[in-house]
Amino acid sequence: MTTALITGANKGIGFETARQLAARDITVLMAARDKDLGQAAVETLKAEGAQAHFVHLDVTDADSIARAAEWIDSEFGSLDILINNAGITGALDFDGKPSSTTVATLRQVYETNVFGVVAVTNALLPLLRRAEAARIVNVSSEVGSLELMMNPEGPMWQMAAISYPSSKTALNMVTAMYAKEFWGTPIKVNAANPGYCATDLNHHTGFRTPAQGAEPSVYLATLPEDGPSGQLWGYEWDEQGGYGRLPW
Ligand code: NAP
């Protein structure tokens, strides 16, 4: 049995990631901070024939992370795939420009998008090390790519905000450093970019579907032995954008 834990699996890209992994006969541990929403998401996938379980997990709550790790240990004894998908954009301070951004907003966004990923990953690493060839996928964003954000010809040139984009830049480096720590071992660590998808995160303004956005996570979660580690991979921005390795 192959097991995958997906954080923020109750909706959006996380839910579709769980659905696509379950369709590949992977047992999905659907983590959510809201019990009712998480249970409902599990029931939806079970009705489609999935092997799905609910895991109560708030990535900013150390006790909740520890309890989730203990439960997975007692039920499964190991974990093959971890998808750090949960993410927030944070409050919009005035116009959202760097000069208007409060440190409180930065802290809030980093708690979930950066510190939460490290806390969840480190708590689950003992279980991931017990798997034959674990895969860790951090759901990042092209807005965390310095090269893509600083391209005056690119679609993101008009964006000048710091909390969400810089949290994803930090997440990219976190991903790269875990990849280095596990270089030459069976554990692969990569960052996924879903492309700009219509979800609650952006008030459904994205061009792609959440199901399309899940594809890079699923690809990286099921990489073969000779697959890459330490890469940012996925869809660029809109339907004109490419699919593949992206610049950090
Ligand atoms: P979404 O529909 O808003 O889903 C976000 C998920 O994260 C929800 O399940 C949410 O739970 C969960 N979450 C937030 N804070 C959490 C916490 N402290 N603990 C546990 N779960 C928490 O957004 P999405 O678009 O699917 O985003 C999924 C990932 O893709 C994020 O990392 C996002 O940054 C990334 N991404 C999205 C896009 C895009 O265009 N949509 C593009 C690039 C990257 P609740 O329902 O309880 O709030």
pLDDT band at 240 (very low <50, low <70, confident <90, very high): confident
Instruction: Report which protein residue has its CA nearest ligand 1's atom 8.
Output: 8
Mean pLDDT computed over every residue of the chain? 97
Give the residues across from 55 on adjacent strands. Answer: 31
Range list of β-strands (E), the chain: 3-6, 27-32, 52-56, 81-84, 135-139, 188-193, 232-235, 243-246
Whether 37 and 115 have beta carbons less than 8 Å apart is answered as no
Question: Looking at residue 112, which CATH number applies to its domain?
Answer: 3.40.50.720
pLDDT at 238 over 90: no
Ligand 1 centroid to Cα of residue 34, in Å, is: 13
Nearest-atom number in ligand 1 for the CA of 84 is 32
Ligand 1 centroid to Cα of residue 204, in Å, is: 12
Strands 135-139 and 81-84, bridge-based pairing:
parallel
Calpha distance 74→53 (Å, rounded): 14
The pLDDT, as a whole number, for residue 183 is 98
Active site residue 235: no
When pLDDT is averaged across residues 210-219 and rounded to a whole number, the result is 98
Active site residue 168: yes
Instruction: Report which protein residue has its CA nearest ligand 1's atom 31.
Output: 87
pLDDT band at 241 (very low <50, low <70, confident <90, very high): confident
Whether 167 and 110 have beta carbons less than 8 Å apart is answered as yes
Strands 135-139 and 232-235, bridge-based pairing:
unpaired
Q: How many domains does the chain have?
A: 1
The catalytically annotated residue of 11, 35, 164, 243 is 164
Token code pair at residue 186: 């069976």
Pocket around ligand 1: residues whose beta carbon is below 6 Å from it? 7-8, 10-14, 32-34, 37, 57-60, 85-88, 112, 139, 141, 194, 196-197, 199-202, 206, 210
Distances (CA, A) of 236 to 110, 192, 216: 23, 11, 11
Structural domain harbouring 47: 3-246
Q: Which phi and psi angles does 5 have, rounded to 5°?
A: -100, 130
Which of 6, 11, 44, 239, when mutated, tests ligand 1's pocket best, judged by the most ligand atoms within 8 Å of its CB? 11
- Whole-number percent of the chain with pLDDT over 90: 96
The pLDDT tens digits of the residues spanning 124-154 come to 999 999 999 999 999 999 999 999 999 999 9
Ligand 1 centroid to Cα of residue 184, in Å, is: 31
Whether 86 and 17 have beta carbons less than 8 Å apart is answered as no
Which amino acid is it at 20?
Answer: Q
The pLDDT tens digits of the residues spanning 66-125 come to 999 999 999 999 999 999 999 999 988 888 899 999 999 999 999 999 999 999 999 999
The pLDDT tens digits of the residues spanning 150-187 come to 999 999 999 999 999 999 999 999 999 999 999 999 99
Ligand 1 centroid to Cα of residue 88, in Å, is: 6
Calpha distance 215→31 (Å, rounded): 19
